[in-house]
Chains A and B, each alone.
Chain A
């Protein structure tokens, strides 16, 4: 696996932003009431993430360390504005149903987190792939959550009724408690299948958790925690 593909795998499975890192919970819980919303939110975040990662990576030697967070936010906010205007022009329905959560992409932890943890320390190409991987991971997670929420909570998928007529939609699933419930259940299934994520990694019998070091990938000899 070369470096670029490794970043994509890392974003989708190993450090999946939603189910492993538990980042960006606000849009995850709020907009996943229908599949269209979930995919739309995921893709617009991906677009912002890729471009902002690229620009921050290019400017990483120019931005002074003391003011890096305001600088990151200015860059991210510019791209969010671009995305917002584009959506308003071409995808008005989606724009209206996502509402305030589009401008809120600016403060999405995933974007700032990747800027801080990855793009500001790594070359542009790798940063693009990192953003792409994280974005796809986020989109897939939102799609999975919104799939189950729309199916169980409204009996529809993308607005089309798919459940049999006798099925009574469970209203709670499309409301706030349902978001927490479905998120937790999917994380439970991922853990039960022991998919090798960062949260499940063990080095010398110690869980890695959110430890920033990358010893599990290197065979675990250098772990200082254990």
Chain B
């Protein structure tokens, strides 16, 4: 009898996936890129990653404590936000930058809007944009071994030649999550474990490449397209930020529309703005369009529209 009380009406949860489980998967998937960044850029980047994560967790804990909410620290979403934010920062930033960035991302973008599931844009991206607007000089200073060098994308814009293989492996200047190979490995892990569905990353990257060919001014030259693909944050954005379930559409048709739109914006911001890489802005603008997409592409209600005799 006591067990019967636990029965609930349908629909029932039919999967063992939980928020903390999925978030843990994302952290695992980000590990190759993180370790590569720390190996390539040195000890200071480890500090940046740790400060960013610690600040995100501390902010979430403090907010829950002050407002008497249940402690949401162990759903790991704060860890993911802090880690993704750190991967988008230059490796030599002073440590107050990851601290303030995570604080802004968690407190203002996530907690003030109602916590996980209620944030209207991706917190990590909003944190990065906050830092870009506030501390422009520190946030665009990419230095390796004491020598400040242009990022590959800036070099391409200046008309220089770059090595795509080095960029793909990550032996280039850039933000901490610079290794495209490691990020793709992580993305593959997420796809295999079913944490993400392929619609958004695939449609976003394809549309990005197509629009790079149309808008880039070099036609569909494979080397040019490859260098655009492996430069900047478009892969990190496609696998780890654009498909954040909170800020992406509900239906899979919506996913494709959204992916194409974000990929288009990435290409536009890359070629027609004064930034070298506008992936963050593209995804945030995409996030804002999500309610509109969901309004026009409506999913089928559960249990309706099945074929007769089908399963």
Contacts and interface: CB of A to CB of B under 8 A. Distances in A.
Interface of A: 168, 170-173, 175, 177, 181
B130 interface: yes
A170 B100 CA distance: 10
A172 B96 CA distance: 15
Nearest to A176: B133
A170 B133 CA distance: 9
10 tightest CB-CB pairs across the interface, nearest first?
Answer: A172-B134, A171-B134, A172-B133, A170-B134, A172-B130, A171-B133, A168-B135, A175-B133, A168-B96, A171-B135
A173 B130 CA distance: 10
A177 B131 CA distance: 13
A168 B135 CA distance: 8
Interface residues of B, number: 9
A102 B94 CA distance: 41
Interface in B55-94: 94
Contacts, number: 17
Contacts of A172: 130, 133-134
B154 interface: no
Contacts of A168: 94, 96, 135
A83 B113 CA distance: 42
Contacts of B156: none
Contacts of B94: 168
A7 B281 CA distance: 47
Interface string B109-145: 0000000000000000000001001111000000000
17 contacts: A168-B94, A168-B96, A168-B135, A170-B100, A170-B134, A170-B135, A171-B133, A171-B134, A171-B135, A171-B136, A172-B130, A172-B133, A172-B134, A173-B134, A175-B133, A177-B133, A181-B108
A175 B129 CA distance: 13
Contacts of A177: 133
B123 to A, nearest CB: 15
Contacts of B96: 168
Nearest to B132: A172
Nearest to A184: B112
Contacts of A171: 133-136
Contacts of B100: 170
B110 to A, nearest CB: 15
Contacts of B134: 170-173
B182 to A, nearest CB: 31
Nearest to A153: B134
B10 to A, nearest CB: 36
A171 B94 CA distance: 16
B17 to A, nearest CB: 35
Contacts of B133: 171-172, 175, 177
Contacts of B108: 181
